[in-house]
A and B are shown apart, each in its own frame.
Chain A
Amino acid sequence: MARLFGLVAEFDDPERLLEATRRARAEGYQRLDAHTPFPVEGLVEALGRRDERIPWIAFVVGMLGAAFGFWMQAYIQTVDYPLNIGGKPLLGWPAYVPITFEITILSISIALFFAMLLMNGLPLAHHPLRNTPVYPRIFADRFVLVVEATDPRFDPEATRTFLEGLGALSVTEVREA
């Protein structure tokens, strides 16, 4: 039999999931995850897994993109391929603003998209939760809390009793593969 991945508690309401998550955290569980059809406000905070890196990535990539965009134009138009058009200054920086802006936005957008995928571990071919009957419904109308077996407080029997006590519709064991 495949290794135990964890226990899944199923709820039909995001508020109840939120409450259950808070109680599980208060109980001392750490390796928790929740799966929901839409982002539920306050859920990552309840899980204690807020991640503030995305805005910083956007900021840093944006600065780099802007610097590169401007440098590219300035270098090309003054050093590598100077074009004198109507006696206008070679380093006519106001004319470089539109392209600098576009390159900034383009680099941030692409970086955000791929950073999001990378940090979330996507694309993902398989997830142990797929072995549970509730899985198809977590994209529509089910809200689940997962307590992973690697949690130091995890105990197949005690954790199950605890989760059932939170008012879950069902508690299922999930095995890997």
Chain B
Amino acid sequence: MELPFKPRPASSAPDTQEVLIEGEHTYTSLADKLAAIVENKPPPQWYPVVWIGFLGSLLLLTAAVVTLWKGVGIWGLNQPVAWGFAIMHFVWWIGIGHAGTLISAILVLARQDWRDSLNRITETMTLFAVLAAGLFPILHLGRPENFYWIIPYPNNLGLWPQFKSPLTWDVLAVMTYLTVSTLFLYLGLIPDLALLRERARNPVLRFVYGALSLGWTGSAVHWHRYRAAYVLLAGLATPLVISVHSVVSLDFAYSLIPGWHLTLFPPFFASGAIYSGFAMALTLVIPLRAWYKLEDVITPTHLEWMARILLAAGLGVTYVYVFEFFTGWYSGEPYELGLIKNRVSGPYAPYFWAEMTANVAVLQLLWFPRIRKSVWALFVISIIANVGMWLDRFDIVVMSLNRDFLPSSWQLYFPTFWDWALYIGTLGFYLFGLALFVRFFPPIAIAELLHLLHKKKRHH
């Protein structure tokens, strides 16, 4: 579908050196190079990653089974901290997932060509992050075998969910998000699967790619309908992303807990999601680019633009921190003021200051072009940003809950071994999923990049 207007690509701004595909590539050489990622043996670094991921997934499985067997009593939950690691990691993982959809959806609509090299890997990131995220609320239920009670379907008890509760919205939002991002990822894969089908020498792989590619023939009429569906899906995914994290934030904001009862929560969660998601995208793309020798297609331009978005989203998060303090102070509520005092000087103060250092102070380094252009600096900053957002979610969940209205019920939260096992387990599952995906499916969208090459050629 063509937009009625032709926006000028931002990349043509005079001050940027726009290099999206480096080297002298033809269609043949580019397709060969990108398909080789899947066809050749993986680089040596792939094996440790997949093993660590596999062991982490086993840990996740163990922790999940033990939790299901013994109940959530084995976690560090207490009163008043009834939402501990599980909900915190749910929010953290969902946030990480968002950058994938943002890169692939918003940047399609904005006609940003540089997304073409990044969208596949970040969409994969989204898929596994949402899968990891979705696990936590289900385990947190206490009676996870009854999770389907919250799905609206006519049952023989005549019972329905309560649709005015954000918890119900949450289930539908996350499930819709998972479905739409899976469809989007798969839709994007279809032409590449057809290419792999034609190139596969192994008959089993040829059959599998053939079945998955649905017999795609590359007909111009098919492409026309395909692009219409793809762009519309991107257009729908964009508000969807914003809605998912806003709904997640409403789980908090609907309550009266000091620190949670804020109208600013939806944009706060959304900007935090973009920030942590782009941080995770950088953390993953930088090693992938080095290990698979993808410098031709993930150029310094790509990294720098991702760093700029990271900076912009991080400044959004900084703004919210300032605003949180302002609202707390301006409300004059003793409980809000107490929360501020608890944050800056209470038992969790070191975590709070670490969060501020990571998300506010270190972030400012990205203003300097020299740092944005240094791959190592970006890699380190992206990891710090991930840790910072982890602390941010810890701040929201634990620091707001550990002191409620009555000092007699104040209690600190101590995560147990199983809390940590679940978290580290999902990290492993995430790595495992990504490593296997990259082994069998092209991490760079081949058809998109051939298209990009065509556009560049026509330009010159």
List A residues at the B interface (Cβ < 8 Å).
14-15, 33-40, 43-44, 47, 49-51, 54-55, 58, 72-73, 76-77, 80-81, 83, 85, 88, 92, 95-96, 98-99, 101-103, 105-106, 108-110, 112-113, 115-117, 119-120, 122-127, 129, 135-141
Instruction: Say whether A106 contacts B176, CB under 8 Å.
Output: yes
Tell me whether B225 is interfacial, beta carbon within 8 Å. yes
- Cβ-closest chain B residue relative to A58: B232
**Contact across chains for B173 and A40 when beta carbons are under 8 A apart:** no
CB-contact partner of A72 in B152, B173, B199, under 8 A? B152
A35 in contact with B229 given A102-B176, A102-B243, A106-B180 (CB within 8 Å): no
| Given A44-B221, A122-B214; A88-B447 close (CB under 8 Å) | no
The answer to whether A37 touches B172 (Cβ under 8 A) is no
Q: For the complex, is B10 an interface residue (Cβ under 8 Å from A)?
A: no
> Contact: A124 with B27, CB < 8 Å?
no
> With contacts A37-B447, A124-B215 known, is A47 near B454, CB below 8 A?
no
Q: Is the CB of B224 within 8 A of A105?
A: no
A109 to B240, CA, bound (A): 11
Q: With A81-B158, A95-B163 given, name 15 new contacts (CB 8 A).
A: A33-B221, A38-B223, A38-B447, A39-B223, A40-B220, A44-B223, A47-B220, A51-B224, A81-B160, A98-B243, A105-B236, A123-B215, A124-B215, A140-B450, A141-B450
A95-B164, A108-B236 known; A123-B214 Cβ under 8 A? yes
User: Once A and B bind, how many residue pairs between them come within 8 Å at the CB atom?
Assistant: 187
Q: What is the CA–CA distance of A80 and B198 in the complex, to the nearest angstrom?
A: 55
Residues in chain B near residue A15, CB distance under 8 A? 458
Q: Complex: how many Å from CA A92 to CA B176?
A: 23
- CB A106 to nearest CB in B, in angstroms, measures 4
Residue of A nearest to B236 (CB): A105
B255 at the interface (CB under 8 A from A): no
Interface on B for A, CB 8 Å cutoff? 1, 26-28, 31-32, 35, 152, 158-160, 162-164, 166, 168-169, 172-173, 176, 179-180, 183-184, 187, 191, 194-195, 198-199, 211, 214-229, 232-233, 236, 239-240, 243, 247, 250, 446-448, 450-451, 454, 458
Contact, CB under 8 Å: B454 / A14: yes
B26 contacts which of A34, A108, A141 (Cβ < 8 Å)?
A: A141
Q: Are B224 and A37 in contact (CB under 8 A)?
A: no
Q: How far is the CA of A142 from the CA of B93 in the complex (A)?
A: 42
Residues of B within 8 A of A49 (CB): 220-221, 224
A54 near B225: Cβ-Cβ < 8 Å? yes
A20 → chain B, closest Cβ, in Å? Answer: 12
Counting chain A CB atoms within 10 Å of each CB, the highest count among B166, B224, B236 belongs to B224
- Counting from the closest, the 4 A-B pairs by CB-CB distance are A124-B215, A38-B451, A141-B27, A140-B31
**Complex Cα–Cα for A39 and B223 (A):** 5
Looking at the assembled complex, report how far the CB atom of B195 sits from the nearest CB atom of chain A, in whole angstroms.
4
Is B225 in contact with A122, judged by CB distance below 8 angstroms?
A: no
Bound-complex Cα distance A112 to B180 (A): 11
Q: CB distance A37 to B236 under 8 Å?
A: no
Q: Are B217 and A37 in contact (CB under 8 A)?
A: no
Q: Which of A34, A35, A83, A103 is close to B172, meaning CB atoms less than 8 Å apart?
A: A103
* Interface SS of B by simple majority: helix
A126–B197 CA distance with the chains assembled, in angstroms = 13
A-B contact pairs, 7 of them (CB 8 A): A33-B219, A33-B221, A36-B218, A38-B191, A58-B232, A105-B180, A110-B179
Asked, given contacts A39-B223, A50-B224, whether A102 binds B27 with beta carbons under 8 Å apart, the answer is no
Determine which of A85, A112, A136 lies in contact with B198 in the assembled complex, contact meaning CB atoms within 8 Å: A136
Q: Which residues in B have their C-beta under 8 angstroms from that of A40?
A: 220, 223, 454
Pairwise interchain contact B220-A113, C-beta atoms closer than 8 A: no
Distance of A54 Cα from B184 Cα, bound (Å):
16
Docked CA distance A98–B169 (Å): 6
Chain A positions within 8 Å of B215 at CB level: 122-127
Contacts of B179 in A (CB 8 A): 106, 109-110
Contact among B168, B223, B229 with A113 in the assembled complex (CB-CB below 8 Å): B229
Q: How far is the CA of A77 from the CA of B152 in the complex (A)?
A: 12
Taking a contact as CB atoms under 8 Å apart, the answer to whether A76 and B191 are in contact is no
A83 to B247, CA, bound (A): 22
In the complex, which residues of chain A have a beta carbon less than 8 angstroms from the beta carbon of B35? 140
- Contact present for A119 and B225 (CB under 8 Å): yes
Minimum CB–CB distance from B2 to chain A (whole Å) comes to 8
B232 touches A112 (CB 8 A): yes
Is B454 a contact partner of A140 (Cβ separation < 8 A)?
Answer: no
A95 to B233, CA, bound (A): 25
